[in-house]
Amino acid sequence: MRNRLFIFFLFFHSISFSQKIIESANIFKTGEINISENILYNGSSTKISIDSIISLKESDWKKNHQKNNLNLKISSNVYWLKFSIINNQNKPIRFYIFHSNKGINNLELYKYSNKQLTFLGKTGDYLPFYNRPFKSTNFVFPATLNTNEMCEFYMFCDKKNENLNTSIHLYDESKITKKEEKAILFMGIFLGFFALGFTITLSLYFFYKEKLQFWYSLYILSVINILMSYEGFDFQYFFPNHPFYANISRFISSSLTLVLMMAVMQLFCNQKPNNSKLYYITRFFVWVVGLSIPATVIIYSFFPYFFLKRIHFYFFMIQQSMGLLIVLLGTVEKIFQRFKPAIFYFTAVVMLLYSGILASLREMGIINYSADTPNQLQWCFVFEIMLISIGMLYRYTLIKKEKESLFQELNQQKINSIKQVFETQQKEQQRIAEDLHDLFGGQLAALKLKISSENISHPIKEDISKLIDELSSNTRNIAHNLAPIHLHNNAIADIISVYFKQLNTEQKTQFQFIQIGDPINFKKELEIDLYKILMELIHNILKHADASEASIQFFFKENELEVLIEDNGKGISFGNAQGMGINNIKKRTNRLNGKLHIDSKPGSTTIIINIPLTDE
């Protein structure tokens, strides 16, 4: 009999309220139940008192026809929501009424049972955080029902001038605890990941001093801010007693993130006026989005009117989508310009654009999808930061290779330029040497013949002839030093051998040339420098050593030529003239990456020159 009365009681209430009565047993089956489809709502331009709401007729209430959420879109109304619950457990129960929208201005909950009205609490973005009946970034109301108690719940909901798109759930204590712990865990993981990325990027900025790293670190910081803002953690931890900031923080954090995203894209993709048609469009949009931040503060502070807030809301949504689209187009342009790192940024922005559009459509009430943590937008931010970070590493590698290639190209150009100067210098020296050898040398020979035929006393004639011979020898040495005339067509060893034969007939010092090992062809630059070193040493021996014998020996080794110069003269005196000659030899040896060793004493001088060789 009791069960029949209970069933009749349920049936009577179901008819009288045209609303399905929620049974408490359904809450505790899984720990959670979505009651959005069981909601009745009543909207009005101003708040109706709770007493008037309780006395409303059935026809004054509208039934929600959506299964998983309540979507009342943007409206100038405030709403009363109504649902009924019966405790069919054999004990009192405690459960939690959960409101999924984190941006409600004001929420109030009343329980009406046995003609008694109980106020269960008040929360919302317009109230300080610690006034909430349940300390959470979500809007949660604890409630209790006695055994077999059936009651109606009335919830006042103020989302005036903004989109009201939400879902209402009932949780048991275990489930709501796990839900809160899960949200905190994932937010901790996300924030830890982004904080690590921020620290690494900022450290790289201080190390490399590159603007991209500085702005990218700010962008990561803005992502942290936007995640905390949309989850309500900034309100809870940063300004719990200033609800006004919580009301606009989502707009400001989103706009700031978009500004930094566009700035990072331009630096990452090297977007400049001379290589991008979208550069000035992007810069213009940066200013538009940037100026929307103070505009938001002004509107919500001084002009919180319905039509202005609605215009601002739609403008904000369009602005976010357009900003992401501009970033996307900027990366596409760079991909077509074959800037490979832009592929990473493009992929990251496509994911974020898709998720951002879904979030915008949800905020506008066009579609419905879950915003619980972790949600799609949060994961997209994680993947975006990962992809852009990988892209930055790839970009640095690519730029490093390009710099190395450019350096090699410039270095090669420098070498070619030096070669051209060297070749020009050699040609000019060869021309001068030929003039000295052919013209001046011939004229000295003619002068000597002329003096020989003249009637001049023998001692004077002999002195003049001696001076002419010395001048002729010096002229020939200068000519050889300026340019080895036959070096382009003959091996250096052959030229030295022929030169020594000539010197041995003219000078008291007898020279000997010895070559050991398999000779190789030298590079012309090396050969000319080596020739000039030998000419300088031969000249020093003739002029200063007062030696009767001297030798030059070539030892060809696998990758090295060792030149040994010996004489039995009086040794090297490091005076001004001799020191200058040795310094010239040292400079030329260093230019050949060679090594010079000098061992000198009266009666014996040994000079060893080691020169690394490469085949021409």
Cα 360 to chain centroid distance, Å, stands at: 29
Q: If 0-12 CB within 10 Å is exposed, 13-18 middle and 19+ buried, where does residue 33 land?
A: buried
Report, as an integer, the average pLDDT of 66-75: 82
Report, as an integer, the average pLDDT of 326-348: 89
Q: Which residues are within 8 A (CB) of 440 and not within 5 positions of it... i.e. 6 or more apart?
A: 475
Report the mean per-residue pLDDT for the chain: 81
Residue 582: Cβ within 10 Å count: 18
pLDDT of residue 280: 93
Cα separation, 402 vs 548, whole angstroms: 60
pLDDT of residue 435: 62
Confidence of residue 614 (pLDDT cuts 50, 70, 90): low
Tokens read off for 263: 């700035």
pLDDT of residue 120: 93
Q: Which helix (H) or strand (E) holds 33?
A: strand 32-34
Residue 54: Cβ within 10 Å count: 15
Backbone angles phi, psi at 381, to 5 degrees: -65, -40
pLDDT of residue 455: 64
pLDDT of residue 445: 65
pLDDT of residue 16: 43
pLDDT at 336 over 70: yes
Report, as an integer, the average pLDDT of 317-343: 89
Backbone angles phi, psi at 355, to 5 degrees: -65, -40
CATH class of 180-410: mainly alpha
360: closest CA among 254, 260, 263? Answer: 254
Q: Which of 21-25, 100-104, 336-340 has the highest mean pLDDT?
A: 336-340
* Predicted confidence (pLDDT) per residue in 308-324, tens digit: 877 887 888 888 888 88
Cα separation, 345 vs 241, whole angstroms: 39
Report, as an integer, the average pLDDT of 527-553: 85
Report, as an integer, the average pLDDT of 497-522: 82
**% of the chain with per-residue pLDDT over 70:** 80
In whole angstroms, how large is the CA radius of gyration of the chain? Answer: 48
Q: What is the CATH number of domain 2-171?
A: 2.60.40.2380
pLDDT of residue 154: 95
Cα separation, 446 vs 435, whole angstroms: 16
Q: Where in the chain are the domains?
A: 2-171, 180-410, 491-616
491-616 CATH, one of 3.20.20.70, 2.40.37.10, 3.30.565.10, 3.40.605.10: 3.30.565.10
pLDDT of residue 458: 61
Confidence of residue 456 (pLDDT cuts 50, 70, 90): low
Confidence of residue 431 (pLDDT cuts 50, 70, 90): low
Report, as an integer, the average pLDDT of 332-346: 89
93: closest CA among 146, 26, 31? Answer: 146
Residue 280: Cβ within 10 Å count: 10
pLDDT of residue 205: 87
